[in-house]
Amino acid sequence: MQQISRSAHLSPIVAPMILLHLTVTGFSSLRLSSSTPVTHVARYAASPRSVTMQHDGKGFGGGEATRDPPPTVYDPSDPKGKQQAIHKAESFAEYLAKRGGFSDSHKSGVCEPRGAAAATAVSKVAPATAPASGSPYAVLADAYFADIRRELALLMDNPSWDDGSLAPVLIRLAWHSSGTYDKASGTGGSNGAGMRFDAEASDCENAGLHTARAFLEPVKRKFPGISYSDLWVLAAYVGIEHTGGPSIAFRPGRVDWEGEHELLAGGWCNPMPRGGHGRLPGAEKYVAYDSADAAGRPSGWQKLCGHIRDEVFYRMGFGDREIVALLCGGHVYGRCHRGSSGYAGAWVEHPTRFSNEYATDMLEDEWRLVGHEDTWLDDMGAAELRPAAGNRQYVNKCPLGTGGDDANQMMLLSDMALAWDPDFRVHLEAFAADEAMLAREFGAAFKKLTELGCEGVLQPEVAAGGLAAAR
């Protein structure tokens, strides 16, 4: 089965896919009350803002920065690999410090006040309501978040990670944390950072995201005033902007859940039901491969479109155009891993740069449905595109040699649905024709996604200026 459109040739990807073999885990955390982040922000204002992290772990300096650490081994005392993931993140933080991102004026690595200024700063706690624009607290918050942005920007380029960038996995972390929102019940969303707990972390759609959370741990320890839920969202915003995408204005104020019981009260289960909690999209849901229509589309694809609309995005309050904008902007980043999701490969040739390549390639390339048994991909140098046994995906290759000179790319069934469904396709074609329009609408839709369910806690936007102002 294949899509009938033809492709323009793309140059091959030369960077190999690098995998980190870890299992899903979550982080435990004490709840940050609404006033706690502000206290840290106030303390921070009285201290120097050029700070470096200090660690005892092995660094990424020199040649170590150009190769992936050895595969994680099973440790009976650390069955979920949490400590090894944190060690990898801390090692990279040490590498960044050696690279000279910040001065070492604070050896503790935590922004704390000193001397007489400390008493003054600590007294400046946050008001019960959101601060007025231009108030002293708002100014302090802007300075605090500007330095967090700077730290996150330094984190993005990582030679040991997929295609040399952490941006894609951090964008996915914020998306999956936010994409659980249900407007009917008011549950889910980015507020709470529920993925720190097994009830949410163990969802099969969140496989591999424990590494994203681990890479942010040193930043959280250095800036304790920001909640995990705010940090995950801000990291995604910085990642998008760092890779050439739109600048998204950030609103802080999300509060972390105190414990898993708050997740369970919102409808999650532990242990997780087979197939997950159902709030995140399934790539092949309702699709059968016993027959196909005249265009080669497998039976059940219309039901898959219904799943994307009714069970996922309409449930959160999105319309068709926003759905397409989110997928076009989000799936230009990163790649799928056979060992995590069961799917394999990158959507686009350049998976660490914002573009409308996802939309253009879907419409212009020829796509063929494959499974794990399609070993002819190996002979074409495209073994990385063979999904795990039992999974199916589309690839820009053909056993007769078509696509052999193109970069190895794939599309999920849920991606191809945007080209098959006429109401989705009209928006796909619009974004394929206008990258600037995609940037604007993706930025707006992603901001909406990450603020769903947070209306009661979010504060005013941090001062404009984006990443450039934080450099």
Range from 74-78, 172-176, 322-326, 373-377 carrying the lowest mean pLDDT: 74-78
Tokens of 81: 């690999």
Q: What is the pLDDT of residues 436-469, one digit of tens each?
A: 999 999 999 999 999 999 988 999 999 755 455 5
Mapping DSSP to helix (H, G, I), strand (E, B) and coil, where does residue 371 land?
strand
More confident residue, 102 or 348: 348
Residue 188 CA: distances (Å) to CA of 174, 449, 451: 13, 11, 11
Residue located via tokens 């000193």: 114
Q: Which residue has 């193109």 as its token pair?
A: 406
Q: Of the ranges 61-65, 108-112, 402-406, which is most confident? A: 402-406
Residue predicted with more confidence, 426 or 23 = 426
Predicted confidence (pLDDT) at residue 241 exceeds the cutoff of 70: yes
Catalytic positions, written as ranges:
176, 347
Does an H or E element contain 345, and which? Answer: strand 345-346
Mean pLDDT, rounded, for 81-102: 52
Prediction pTM value: 0.75
Distances (CA, A) of 301 to 284, 298, 308, 336, 426: 8, 6, 11, 21, 18
Cα angle at 186 between 181 and 190, to 5 degrees?
40
Q: Is 183 helix (H, G, I), strand (E, B) or coil?
A: coil
User: Taking 60 as the threshold, does the pLDDT of residue 348 lie above it?
Assistant: yes
Cα gap 402→370, rounded to integer Å: 14
Higher pLDDT, 353 or 127: 353
pLDDT single digits (tens) 270-321: 877 777 778 999 999 999 999 999 999 999 999 999 999 999 999 999 999 9
The pLDDT value recorded for residue 179 is 97
DSSP state at residue 270: S
